[in-house]
């Protein structure tokens, strides 16, 4: 591919107009939207309105003028990206906290089943939270096994299978239909972590027969740093599970001020305390920027961007740990390199922001909503230059910052 080839693809790209929705420095090639999505202009305006007008002028009246319904209203906007129905999704909490709530609920649902099955090398918070959740339920434990042994680890003691759909390091994607069916055959529900999937790959929780899911608001969805997260419970589970963090906002009548807890019907029971209105305002505006995105074109462009960087990696002789088959991966590409940290930092200095996942992966996120083919082609050229000229050997690139 040449620069002209990439420009020709941009000229006919149906997603090209969407880039203007985001605040992106002109000279930057941002390949980290899988870790923190950029600022949608609409989110800046929504936060300004939520502070100056709603908070500043409406004060407490804001709760009856849209704040109270924000978690379920935003859930309805998330549903199409998940392949779920509106009454199955709510926005709030963090991915970690939502994992905890759903894992404890699943463990308590069937006292004969005590084991959370998961994958070694899963995203750390998933395993840490699983251990914490198991610690709260007598007799419960976590069985984390390597990827190829997950199916065999399922059995009559499985309370829930906890999997991250797209792996944060390799971008490897589980077959959601097959793994959900395997868990169901063992009599257990599946909890899918969709942090690297939502807005990155097609999802159809309904068709897969999925049970429970969580996901991240600040990655591909661009909801802002620490944005409220996703919580999904399939309709058939909703009256059977209870939120262990049973707070007043999940009560059937929060302003009835009763001593005894009675869960709200549907997804509102997964609320705990007062929702974070400013965070929800940013997330809602970010989701509105997704409403008219042609999703089939988005997935196709993601695959094309991947191929451009994969080709650059091949020319450099880099080991690509991400599957080539678009159906078996997410929307980032990871290369193995013994000096991946220094390489990542030298790329940042050259205007290409990706990230490093220890010990040896350079991870580059591909977000078709606002990246051009030419930018990704240019990133590939810069990668080749940095590998050839070895500026990454400069000691200033080898020091490890707190966030990589």
Ligand X SMILES: *Cc1c(COP(=O)(O)O)cnc(C)c1O
User: What is the binding site for ligand X (CB under 6 A)?
Assistant: 94-96, 123, 125-126, 164, 168, 193, 195-196, 216, 229
Task: Kindly state the smallest distance separating residue 147's Cβ from ligand X, in Å.
Answer: 14
Active site residue 77: no
The residue annotated as part of the active site, out of 123, 168, 232, 356, is: 123
The residue annotated as part of the active site, out of 32, 126, 193, 211, is: 193
Residue pair 354/365 in contact (Cβ under 8 Å)? The answer is yes
How many angstroms separate the CA atoms of 289 and 286, rounded?
A: 5
Q: At 292, list the tokens.
A: 């008219």
Task: Kindly state the smallest distance separating residue 61's Cβ from ligand X, in Å.
Answer: 31
The residue annotated as part of the active site, out of 21, 143, 219, 269, is: 219
The residue annotated as part of the active site, out of 22, 218, 220, 232, is: 218
Active site residue 123: yes
Residue pair 4/377 in contact (Cβ under 8 Å)? The answer is no
- Coil/strand/helix, residue 250: helix
Integer-rounded Cα Rg, in Å, for the chain is 22
How many angstroms separate the CA atoms of 156 and 151, rounded?
A: 13
Cα 23 to the chain's mean position, in Å?
21
Task: Kindly state the smallest distance separating residue 229's Cβ from ligand X, in Å.
Answer: 6
Our CB check for ligand X shows the closer of 6 and 89 to be 89
Which helix (H) or strand (E) covers residue 141, if one does? strand 141-145
Of 80, 82, 138, which is closest to residue 107 (Cα–Cα)? 138
Task: Kindly state the smallest distance separating residue 284's Cβ from ligand X, in Å.
Answer: 18
Our CB check for ligand X shows the closer of 355 and 374 to be 355
Task: Look at strands 115-119 and 141-145 and give their pairing.
Answer: parallel
Our CB check for ligand X shows the closer of 331 and 372 to be 331
Our CB check for ligand X shows the closer of 125 and 158 to be 125
Task: Look at strands 29-30 and 352-353 and give their pairing.
Answer: parallel
Our CB check for ligand X shows the closer of 93 and 189 to be 93
Task: Kindly state the smallest distance separating residue 189's Cβ from ligand X, in Å.
Answer: 18
On the 0-12 / 13-18 / 19+ scale of CB atoms within 10 A, 359 is exposed
Task: Kindly state the smallest distance separating residue 351's Cβ from ligand X, in Å.
Answer: 25
Which helix (H) or strand (E) covers residue 363, if one does? strand 361-365
Cα end-to-end distance, the chain, whole Å? 30
Active site residue 232: no
β-bridge partners, 333: 364
Which helix (H) or strand (E) covers residue 214, if one does? strand 212-215
Task: Kindly state the smallest distance separating residue 4's Cβ from ligand X, in Å.
Answer: 36
Residues 6+ apart with CB under 8 A from 89: 75, 76, 78, 79, 82, 230, 231, 232, 267
Our CB check for ligand X shows the closer of 54 and 125 to be 125
Task: Kindly state the smallest distance separating residue 96's Cβ from ligand X, in Å.
Answer: 3
Residues 6+ apart with CB under 8 A from 384: 312, 315, 316
Active site residue 18: no
Our CB check for ligand X shows the closer of 196 and 269 to be 196
Our CB check for ligand X shows the closer of 54 and 197 to be 197
| Cis peptide bond prior to 359, omega within 30° of 0 | yes
Residue with the two structure tokens 């972590």:
193
Length of the chain: 404
Kindly list the distances between the CA atom of residue 33 and the CA atoms of 29, 113, 233, in Å, as whole numbers in the listed order.
11, 38, 27
Active site residue 363: yes
Which residues carry out catalysis? 123, 193, 218-219, 363
């Amino acid at each position: 591919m040449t620069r002209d080839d990439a420009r020709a693809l941009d000229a006919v790209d149906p997603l090209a107009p969407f880039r203007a929705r985001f605040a992106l420095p002109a000279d930057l090639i941002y390949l980290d939207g899988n870790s923190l999505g950029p600022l949608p202009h609409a989110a800046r305006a929504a936060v300004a309105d939520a502070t100056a007008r709603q908070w500043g002028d409406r004060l407490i009246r804001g709760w009856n003028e849209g704040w109270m319904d924000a978690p379920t209203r935003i859930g309805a906007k998330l549903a199409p990206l998940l392949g779920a129905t509106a009454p199955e999704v709510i926005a709030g909490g963090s991915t970690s906290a939502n994992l905890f709530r759903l894992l404890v609920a699943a463990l308590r649902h069937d006292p004969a089943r005590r084991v959370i099955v998961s994958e070694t090398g899963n995203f750390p918070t998933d395993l840490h939270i699983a251990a914490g959740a198991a610690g709260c339920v007598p007799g419960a434990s976590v069985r984390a096994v390597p990827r190829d042994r997950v199916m065999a680890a399922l059995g009559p003691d499985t309370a829930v299978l906890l999997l991250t759909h797209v792996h944060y390091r390799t971008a490897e994607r589980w077959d959601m239909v097959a793994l959900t069916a395997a868990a169901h055959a063992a009599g257990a529900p599946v909890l899918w972590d969709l942090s690297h999937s939502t807005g990155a790959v097609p999802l159809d929780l309904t068709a897969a027969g999925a049970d429970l899911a969580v996901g991240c608001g600040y990655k591909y969805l661009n909801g802002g740093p620490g944005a409220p997260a996703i919580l999904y419970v399939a309709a058939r589970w909703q009256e059977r599970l209870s939120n262990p963090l049973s707070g007043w906002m999940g009560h059937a009548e929060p302003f009835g001020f009763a001593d005894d807890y009675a869960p709200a019907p549907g997804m509102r029971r997964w609320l705990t305390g007062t929702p974070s209105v400013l965070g929800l305002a940013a997330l809602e505006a970010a989701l509105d920027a997704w409403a008219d995105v042609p999703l089939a074109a988005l997935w196709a462009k993601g695959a094309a961007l991947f191929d451009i960087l994969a080709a650059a990696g091949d020319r450099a002789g880099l080991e690509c740990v991400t599957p080539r088959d678009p159906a078996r991966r997410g929307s980032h590409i990871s290369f193995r390199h013994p000096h991946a940290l220094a390489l990542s930092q030298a790329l940042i200095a050259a205007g290409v922001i990706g990230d490093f996942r220890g010990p040896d992966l350079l991870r580059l996120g591909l977000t078709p909503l606002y990246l051009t083919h030419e930018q990704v082609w240019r990133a590939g050229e810069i990668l080749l230059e940095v590998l050839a000229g070895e500026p990454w050997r400069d000691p200033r690139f080898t020091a490890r910052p707190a966030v990589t």
